[in-house]
Amino acid sequence: MASDTIDIASILKSDFEKILSAWLRVQAREGIKRTDIISAEETAKQSRDLLSAIARAAEDARVDREFDFGNPAWDGVRQTLGEISKNRTERGVSPTEMAWFVSSLKQAFFTPLRELLSEEPSKLVEQITDATRVVDNFALHAFDCYVQEREAIIERQQSEMTEVSAPVVKIWDRIVTVPLLGTLDSFRAQTVMENLLQAIVEREAEVAIIDITGVSTVDTMVAQHLLKTAAAVRLMGAECVISGISPKIAQTIVHLGVELPNVVTRVDLQSGLAYAFERIGVSTRLNGL
């Protein structure tokens, strides 16, 4: 690369502070208005970090037509973008604001390029095209990071919610129960099964009661999941009781043609518990249960 070439690498070297303050001005005008979420100081710091990373990478990597974001020289930029994205996603920054943050860098590059290349319009067009491509790649990467981070948050919340909504309780010595509420999708069914089986080991339970009183709909898939859970409970050496089979659910199960072989079913939790007591040899006459 000739030393007199004017491109983003050269202007970053000669006019770093100028570009940074121009970028911050553009951001203040059009970018992030939510200073309640990200303070002006933080924005300034993140912008400086990113611009420094770009300046460092541009010394070794090409920023012209041959620009290749896959080049390891850009690793630092990718990492910084990832950190900023993560930080902003966690604070609840919107996708538009995130995209603007990076894209607004273009305008900061354009001003010095326009000044330095005012005599050479064809070179100016070329440099603007290259700079646009480079910044667009950064913006796309930032957006990828943003989406990934959002997905991770959703997954984490989903699993936390599942934990909370399906607690396995030791209801009596050697008896555990899990009351199910709401809808039972595959993901939740899997978690319920895992939790229940783990509780059987930890509590040395001989009977596991799954109470489906609170389950809104029982279709073939839900019935399949219940059957699988019952089979797994038996393999571990415990007995599975499904309680809370309302008359409506009983009808549905028969209509669906689902068979529940080797699974004990009871109308409500009380009768399920009575059955469990009988199995482990506890007398239930005492307190009028």
Partner 1 sequence: MSFSADLGSSPIVTITGCVIVAIRDDLDDSAVMTLQNQLVDEIARKNAHGVIIDISALEIVDTFTGRMLAAMAEMSKVLNARTILVGMRPAVAMTLVELGMTLSEIETALNADKAMMMISAERDRARRE
Partner 2 sequence: MNDETWTISLRKPADVAHARKIAMQALDAAGASAIVKTRFVTAVSEIARNAIVHASSGVMVIGMGRLNGNRSIIARCEDRGPGIVDTNAALKDGFSTGRGMGLGLGGSKRLVDRFELETRVGEGTTVVLETRLR
Told to check if 194 binds partner 2 by CB under 8 A, we report: yes
Q: Which is nearer to partner 1, 50 or 196 (CB)?
A: 196
**Nearest distance, CB of residue 279 and partner 1, angstroms:** 13
**Structure-token match 């005492």, residue found:** 286
DSSP state of 164: H
Considering CB distances under 5 to 8 angstroms, the limit depending on partner class, which of partner 2, partner 1, none binds residue 200?
partner 1
- Report the C-alpha gap between 12 and 30 in whole angstroms: 22
What, of partner 1, partner 2, none, does residue 262 touch, CB below 5 to 8 Å by kind? partner 1
CA dist 232 and 193 (Å) reads: 8
d(CA 236, CA 200): 8
Q: Report if residue 273 touches partner 1, rule: CB under 8 A.
A: no
Residues contacting residue 3 through CB under 8 Å, at least 6 positions apart: none
Binding residues for partner 2 restricted to 132-151, rule: CB under 8 A: 148, 151
- Letter for the amino acid at 204? E
- Terminal C-alpha separation, the chain: 89
Q: How far apart are CA 147 and CA 137, in angstroms?
A: 15
Contact call for residue 221 and partner 1 (CB under 8 A): no
- Residue 194 within binding range of partner 1, rule CB under 8 A: yes
Phi and psi at residue 283, in whole multiples of 5°?
-75, 135
Instruction: Give residues 200-259 in contact with partner 2 (rule: CB under 8 A).
Output: none
Task: Mark the segment that binds partner 1 (CB under 8 A) among 16-24, 43-51, 52-60, 190-198.
Answer: 190-198
Nearer to partner 2, 52 or 195 (CB): 195
Least spacing, CB of residue 237 vs partner 1, in Å? 4
Q: Residue 7's closest CA among 104, 149, 88, 123?
A: 123
Do 194 and 232 form a contact (C-beta atoms < 8 A)? no
Binding mask 49-88 for partner 2 (x = CB under 8 A): ----------------------------------------
Binding window for partner 1 (CB under 8 A); candidates: 125-133, 227-235, 249-257, 272-280: 227-235
Helix or strand holding residue 177 (H, E): strand 175-182
Residue 108 interacts with which of partner 1, partner 2, none, CB < 5 to 8 Å by class: none
- From partner 1, partner 2, none, which one binds at residue 148 (CB under 5 to 8 Å depending on kind)? partner 2
CB environment 88-104: b (16+ within 10 A), e (fewer): bbeeebeeebbbbbbbb
Write down the least CB distance from residue 236 to partner 1, Å.
5
Which partner from the list partner 1, partner 2, none does 154 bind, CB cut-off 5 to 8 Å by kind? Answer: none
CA distances from 117 to 20, 32, 62, 113, 255 (A): 20, 30, 19, 6, 78
> If binding is defined by CB under 8 A, does position 173 make contact with partner 1?
no
**Which residues would be at the binding site for partner 2 (CB under 8 A)?**
148, 151, 194
Instruction: Give contact residues for partner 1 (rule: CB under 8 A).
Output: 193-194, 197-198, 200-201, 204-206, 228, 231-238, 262
